[in-house]
Structure 1
Amino acid sequence: MTDLSKATDPTRRLYQLIADKVRALIQQGDYKEGSRLPPERDLAQQLGVSRPSLREALIALEIEGSVEIRMGSGVYVCSRALRRNPMPPSMGESPAELMQARGALEGAVIVLACVNATPKDWRGSQRASRPCAQTSPPGATCWNTTVNSMCALPR
């Protein structure tokens, strides 16, 4: 069992160290693209960390695009995790703060989009969601992809 809480880099938060370790396990081939990571309890025990700290690390990995967290299904490895990138930037005290800010902003953007959308915009959203729906596993949501694609549509 690894004890990441005794790491020597004072500039890195515990969730970042845990994310680094999970990323390294993926890059060394322990988990392949599209595969499901072990259940949270098992992975936390394997890494010698608490479940809340592991949860923060997984959220950070999801934000950077290395894993996808599917509610009720598990955490899955994305192709981006296999690329060897330099250390990702810090997300502040906790990725939960970033997720809260993102949730507040996205909610406001969606309200504005609904109020101001034209029939042409709605047709664009349907076009934008088709590729996601075709490549995603059954039951996956494509909302983020659709919203992001709509924001990029020419006016």
Structure 2
Amino acid sequence: MEDSLRKLPRPRLYEQVVERLRAYVTSERLGAGDRLPGERDLAARLGVSRASVAQAIVALEVQGLVETRHGGGIFLLRDTLDPEPATELLARRDRLPDVLDAREALETQLARLAALRRTEEDLAAMEEAMRYMRRQVDAGELPLEGDRRFHASVVTAAHSALLAAFYDQIRDAIAESRQESLRQPHRPAQSFADHQAVADAIRAGDGARAAAAMHRHVEHVSSVRLLSWQPRDD
């Protein structure tokens, strides 16, 4: 029987640094584009080692909340600094590879079939999804909805009931991987370009090119800081 009075886990030092930074951003009313104090300054003011500060900054980079610019400092990428608990990040890191494997196998085939089976109505829906995503990217938003609409239009254009059912079964996991990818710095614009390449191949009726374009897109989705994140226990 599980001991309900087991010892409480002690917060890692870098997690405490993250919480202090969150409070600092709120109290100073900082927002996207604002610069945080440097690592040396933060370490001195918080009374911790630079290693602990570096750990905290990496944890925030993994979540797409800050960006470290070589020779320029640490900058906020969002108007708020609301990090996820480390336990949730680690759990997602562990399941993400399986999700990406499934996306590679399923979505490349869907793209190939879409190029061979799409109708004019399918192409119109795909173009509307692209326009929606373009507006989100231009507005500086995370284009989660535009991305979702585009991939949904590819699924529809493939006209495969069974593959569509498979896709629907992992829809939530795909959405999680989508968010993880799009919150990487500069990723929304790259994702839009990837989608355009897939859409162009589908419109051209070139199944091999559509599958290859989707393969490259999933490779880009797979390139996230979270997968290489190895936090220490201190």
Q: 2:147 aligns with which of 125, 145, 150?
A: 150
Q: 1:131 aligns with which of 97, 115, 135?
A: 135
Retained in 2: the 8 A contact 1:33–1:79? yes
User: How big is the shift at 1:27?
Assistant: 1.2
**Separation in 1 of the partners of 2:100 and 2:39?**
29
| Alignment-derived partner of residue 33 in structure 1 | 31
| Alignment-derived partner of residue 90 in structure 1 | 85
Greater radius of gyration (CA)? 2
**Separation in 2 of the partners of 1:70 and 1:99?**
23
TM-score norm. by structure 2 comes to 0.40
Q: Between the two structures, name the one with larger relative contact order (CA 8 Å, sep ≥ 6).
A: 2
**Separation in 2 of the partners of 1:102 and 1:50?**
32
User: How big is the shift at 1:24?
Assistant: 1.0
Q: 2:101 aligns with which of 108, 112, 118?
A: 108
For each residue in 1:88-128, what CA deviation from the matched residue of structure 2 results, as whole angstroms up to 9, or x when unmatched? 76323x95x45743763564365243442346586466335
**Separation in 2 of the partners of 1:131 and 1:149?**
9
- Give the match's secondary structure for 2:37: coil
User: How big is the shift at 1:46?
Assistant: 3.1
User: How big is the shift at 1:19?
Assistant: 0.8
User: How big is the shift at 1:130?
Assistant: 1.4
Retained in 1: the 8 A contact 2:25–2:80? no
Q: For structure 1, which runs of at least 5 residues remain unmatched after alignment? A: 1-8, 137-141
Retained in 2: the 8 A contact 1:124–1:150? no
**Separation in 2 of the partners of 1:51 and 1:135?**
36
Higher helix fraction (1 or 2): 2
Aligned AA (1:32)? L
Q: Residues 102, 76 of structure 1: CA spacing in aligned structure 2 closer, same or farther, 3 A cutoff?
A: farther
Q: For structure 2, which runs of at least 5 residues remain unmatched after alignment? A: 1-7, 116-122, 157-234
User: Percentage identity across aligned positions?
Assistant: 24
Q: 1:69 aligns with which of 45, 67, 70?
A: 67
Aligned residues: 131
Retained in 2: the 8 A contact 1:68–1:75? yes
**Separation in 2 of the partners of 1:151 and 1:108?**
18
Aligned AA (1:135)? A
1:21 aligns with 2:14: no
Q: Residues 100, 21 of structure 1: CA spacing in aligned structure 2 closer, same or farther, 3 A cutoff?
A: same
Aligned AA (2:134)? R
TM-score norm. by structure 1 comes to 0.54
**Separation in 2 of the partners of 1:99 and 1:38?**
29
